[in-house]
Structure 1
Amino acid sequence: MASNQEEVKLLGATGSPFVCRVQIALKLKGVEYKFIEENLRNKSELLLKYNPVHKKVPVFVHNEKPIAESLVILEYIEETWKGNPILPTNPYQRALARFWSKFIDDKVVTAAWKSVFTADEKEREKNIQESFEALQFLENELKDKKFFGGEEFGFVDITAVFIAFWIPMIQEIAGLQLFTAEKFPKLYKWSQEFLNHPVVKECLPPRDPVFAFFKGLYQSLTASK
């Protein structure tokens, strides 16, 4: 196992929710790795070599074999390092975890992002509405569980780090009331539990520089209107 660990690299950018997912999984599994910070405005030869299709982070490299896309990487980590499982053993529960993770990427991440970082007013309204509907589905799915994975956090929770850490930040920048304790009490309580988990806490990027980066992005967008 030690030899595996020596050849693990993660190409990422601090402040990316997708990179953060991979870091949480690796931390939980106790996998040591080398983090290579990428500048996405000036992509390295290494990034283009390892991920020629999307040219995006994260890229996970294990024994010189590169894997892209955060959800695919999470599954690979789960299959390679068996300790502290993030997917249930039951096939139906595993399928559900995959379903909800994909739902978060397809319905929440895209819509919430466009709720803030879209110049077109109509487009923004549409995405705000879509974000609400998607978060409501997750609120209902959480029921009275501590985490989506039950008593311990798992695959869906890790995917949902975007909701817990990034949505509150971008909604504050835009003056939106998208995800609040009043509107989504269960989901909000979950987000606090999740962000305060020692493993998660250690993997979150420092809030201030990330906030400043997104604020700059938002201001340049609103200035160009």
Structure 2
Amino acid sequence: MVYPPSDKVWAANGEEEEGGKKAFIDGIKLLEGELKSNPYFGGETLGFLDIAFLPLYYWFHTFETFGKFSIEAECPELVAWGERCMGEEFVYASLPHPHKVYDMAVEYKKKLGI
């Protein structure tokens, strides 16, 4: 739903990238709807679903940069959720900074010749 098209957002070109971007946005909108009015997917506290989705959140900067779109414009509640999660010290300390993820993606694309 979200992961397969996310690859096309940063590692594809042309129609494949545009199709991936649309599918990715549709997927994250569906996820955002599952938040309902809760701060976290499980309700009031950070839980399993939040932790499972957090690594993808750290790729948002990369997707936005390569895909030339704003996730916050499409899904502001989901971005607010990610920022709340990043406010937890154990989350922030456990995952790389989003700019490091972007730098890694740039290097990977160079190696693949994309």
> TM-score of the superposition, structure 1-length normalised?
0.46
Residue aligned with 1:130, SS: helix
> TM-score of the superposition, structure 2-length normalised?
0.84
Alignment of 1:65-214 (within 5 A): 107-119=1-13, 121-172=14-65, 174-180=66-72, 182-214=73-105
> Relative contact order: is structure 1 or structure 2 higher (C-alpha 8 Å, sep ≥ 6)?
2
2:64, 2:41 → 1: CA distance? 23
1:150 Cα deviation after fit:
1.2
2:78, 2:31 → 1: CA distance? 7
1:206, 1:140 → 2: CA distance? 26
1:158 Cα deviation after fit:
1.0
* 8 Å contact from structure 2 (residues 42, 49) kept in 1: yes
1:219 Cα deviation after fit:
4.2
2:3, 2:91 → 1: CA distance? 19
Between structure 1 and structure 2, the one with the greater Rg is: 1
* Greater helix share, structure number: 2
1:130 Cα deviation after fit:
0.4
Structure 1 residue ranges, 4+ long, deviating more than 6 angstroms after superposition: none
Residue aligned with 1:160, SS: helix
* Greater strand share, structure number: 1
2:33, 2:109 → 1: CA distance? 31
1:137 Cα deviation after fit:
0.8
Residue aligned with 1:122, SS: helix
Residue aligned with 2:4, SS: helix
1:207 Cα deviation after fit:
4.6
Which 5+ residue runs of structure 1 have no aligned equivalent? 1-106
* 8 Å contact from structure 2 (residues 10, 63) kept in 1: yes
1:110, 1:160 → 2: CA distance? 14
2:32, 2:101 → 1: CA distance? 27
Over the matched positions of the two proteins, sequence identity in percent amounts to: 24
1:108, 1:203 → 2: CA distance? 22
* 8 Å contact from structure 1 (residues 112, 131) kept in 2: yes
The count of corresponding residues between Structure 1 and Structure 2 is: 114
CA shift digits 1:153-203 (9 cap, x unpaired):
11211111133211223422x1521512x2212111101001111120120
Q: For residue 177 of structure 1, what is the amino acid of its counterpart?
A: F
* 8 Å contact from structure 1 (residues 143, 186) kept in 2: no
Q: For residue 141 of structure 1, what is the amino acid of its counterpart?
A: E
1:208, 1:139 → 2: CA distance? 23
